[in-house]
Amino acid sequence: MMEKKKQPTKKKKKKGLHRRNKHSGRYDFKKLTAAFPLLKDFVFINEHEIETVDFTKPDAVRALNKALLVHHYGLRNWKIPEGYLCPPVPGRVDYLHYLADQMAKTRKGKVPRGENVKVFEIGVGANCIYPLVGHKEYGWHFVGSEIDKVALQAAKENVYNNRFPEGAVELRLQENSEHIFYDVIHSAERFEACMCNPPFHGSSAEAKSASRRKWKNLGIEDSNSKNPERNFGGKQNELWCKGGEMGFISRLIQESRKFPKTFKFFSTLVSQKKNVPKIIRELKTVRAREIEVIEMAAGQKTSRMICWKFDTEPVVKTFL
């Protein structure tokens, strides 16, 4: 009997950064250090004879991301307070590009630009990265909310110090941490979309435990420290909330149905793949339509953007 030849297994090609993302490929450290000379102190040649930085060192990570913001977006006066989250710029920018693609679907494939496009960000953080880069890339105007007064002030300073046009980025304090849209959105306001990068963990202990595991896997000696330092930093409200990622997104979904005419569509990032089916089920229970899951990848990390909308026009039934 003739043995069947085994078919070669096709390897699934790993998804990379969005085609419009300026950060695809290797970092050009010559250009980056020219834009931000302080980065030079952290650049070295690794065992593969490639220029890089030590991503386990918070100062190196901050310097690299500052250089990216200066070189690619002209954000020369960007600062974050000590201990606050330093965003990995390439991955953050991907969300903006995929958001733009969603907007283009109702414009015959043309990505919208300019001040007539208004986006709401839930939790801008001290870094204010989405409004800053979103305005630089597309000219969109942003309204952002934040529950942390120190982070909000830092975000305002980042907007002011980088000389953004008046009205390009408006930042508002959300005084009730249980609310998302309530209290910060005016009744007559209309937005193209909302965006959100929710806290990942469900408790402080969970966040610290994850950091310890990470450092232990990297061979860092102080992995048993009571307060293991993260290479990207992050305060309590940036890293965890009651119910973790799923709990936060669930609250977002429940509030979104109360604002069907305020946004053309809603969106959020989802880090944990296991949460995607739960989110889709909950969206169906609130009768959301056009639910879409878009996979995004930056380096070794894979994330997802989920978008949804509601019917805003009444359904007219004709009886013959």
**With contact defined as beta carbons under 8 Å apart, do 249 and 307 qualify?**
no
Query: What pLDDT does residue 220 have?
Result: 53
Query: What pLDDT does residue 298 have?
Result: 74
| pLDDT per position as a tens digit, 201-217 | 444 555 455 444 444 55
Residue 237: exposed, middle, or buried by beta-carbon count in 10 A (0-12, 13-18, 19+)? middle
pLDDT surpasses 90 at 102: yes
- In the chain, pLDDT over 90 holds for what percent of residues? 72
pLDDT surpasses 80 at 233: no
- How large is the average pLDDT for residues 51-79? 96
pLDDT surpasses 80 at 65: yes
Query: What pLDDT does residue 206 have?
Result: 53
Alpha helix (H) residue ranges in the chain = 29-35, 58-73, 89-104, 129-138, 149-161, 204-217, 236-239, 244-256, 275-285
Query: What pLDDT does residue 225 have?
Result: 45
Pairing of strands 44-45, 51-52: antiparallel
Handedness of CA 43, 45, 48, 54 (dihedral sign): negative
pLDDT surpasses 60 at 100: yes
Span of 89-98, 107-116, 221-230 with lowest mean pLDDT: 221-230
Query: What pLDDT does residue 106 have?
Result: 94
State the pLDDT confidence band at 64, using cuts at 50, 70 and 90. very high
CA pair distance 250, 256, nearest whole angstrom = 10
- Bridge partners (DSSP) listed for residue 297: 302
CA pair distance 155, 127, nearest whole angstrom = 6
DSSP 41: G
Token pair of 197, please?
């990068």
CA pair distance 114, 7, nearest whole angstrom = 51
Q: Backbone phi, then psi, for 315, in 5-degree steps? A: -85, 120
**CA 34 → CA 27, 86, 273, distances in Å?**
13, 21, 39
pLDDT surpasses 50 at 104: yes
Q: Which domains does the chain show, CATH number per domain?
A: 25-81 (no CATH), 87-199+241-309 (3.40.50.150)
Query: What pLDDT does residue 28 have?
Result: 96
Q: Backbone phi, then psi, for 83, in 5-degree steps? A: 90, -15
Span of 53-62, 97-106, 111-120, 167-176 with lowest mean pLDDT: 53-62
Query: What pLDDT does residue 232 have?
Result: 45
Give the predicted TM-score (pTM) of the model: 0.85
* Mean pLDDT (the chain, rounded): 85
Q: Backbone phi, then psi, for 82, in 5-degree steps? A: -55, 130
**CA 1 → CA 4, 7, 272, distances in Å?**
9, 18, 48
| pLDDT per position as a tens digit, 168-189 | 999 999 999 899 999 999 999 9
